């Protein structure tokens, strides 16, 4: 598999990871993803308006001397959701630490033993593979099978 680098690919991977990550309260104490996804989605909705207001209020009051500061404020506001997407994109491609990789393999094995078809477990899984396996586990395993981990 080719190694994708660059801001555009990180943002695209971040969007995919944001859609893939299971939004479950059981995962909140274990992973920061849910908080970052929530903040990023909020930023996508709100920050463009804040950026526009920062610039337009200066224009409305004919305060063109403050326009450079307003533009910097607008750029900062726009950058916040981009930073969230970038973080998520980088996180999705980060290899799991050994303890989480072991957990990934256990979940993979449990799902396979339950009779569900899965692609073979990755030798060195990344966070995006963990997100996919967690999604499958929450969808296909009953609560008694999951209570060992949560």
- Phi/psi-derived region of residue 38, left when phi > 0, alpha when psi is between -120 and 50, beta in every other case: alpha
Which carries the bigger pLDDT value, residue 4 or residue 137?
137
Question: For 113-141, what is the mean pLDDT?
Answer: 89
pLDDT bin (cut points 50, 70, 90) of residue 138 is confident
Question: For 10-21, what is the mean pLDDT?
Answer: 97
Distance, in Å, from the CA atom of 139 to the CA atom of 131, rounded to the nearest integer, reads 12
Cβ neighbours for 73, distance < 8 A, ≥ 6 positions apart: 51, 54
Q: pLDDT, tens digit, for every residue of 93-124?
A: 999 999 999 999 999 998 888 888 888 899 99
Predicted confidence (pLDDT) at residue 146 exceeds the cutoff of 90: no
Say what the pLDDT of residue 61 is: 96
Q: pLDDT, tens digit, for every residue of 28-52?
A: 999 999 999 999 999 999 999 999 9
Q: Lowest mean pLDDT: which of 26-30, 64-68, 83-87, 93-97?
A: 26-30
pLDDT bin (cut points 50, 70, 90) of residue 140 is confident
Predicted confidence (pLDDT) at residue 4 exceeds the cutoff of 90: no
Say what the pLDDT of residue 1 is: 43
* Whole-number average pLDDT of the chain: 91
Return the percentage of the chain with pLDDT > 70, whole number: 91
């Amino acid at each position: 598999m080719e190694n994708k680098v660059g801001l555009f690919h990180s943002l695209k991977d971040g969007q995919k990871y944001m859609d893939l990550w299971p939004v479950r309260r059981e995962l909140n104490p274990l992973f920061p993803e849910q908080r970052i996804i929530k903040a990023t989605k909020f930023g996508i909705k709100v920050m463009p308006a804040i950026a526009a207001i920062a610039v337009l209020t200066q224009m409305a009051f004919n305060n063109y001397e403050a326009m450079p500061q307003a533009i910097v404020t607008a750029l900062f506001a726009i950058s916040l959701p981009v930073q969230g997407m970038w973080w998520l994109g980088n996180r999705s491609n980060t290899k799991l630490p050994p303890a989480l990789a072991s957990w990934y393999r256990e979940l993979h094995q449990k799902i396979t033993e339950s009779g569900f078809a899965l692609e073979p477990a990755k030798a060195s899984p990344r966070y995006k593979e963990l997100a996919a396996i967690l999604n499958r586990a929450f969808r296909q395993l009953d609560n008694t099978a999951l209570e060992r981990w949560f």
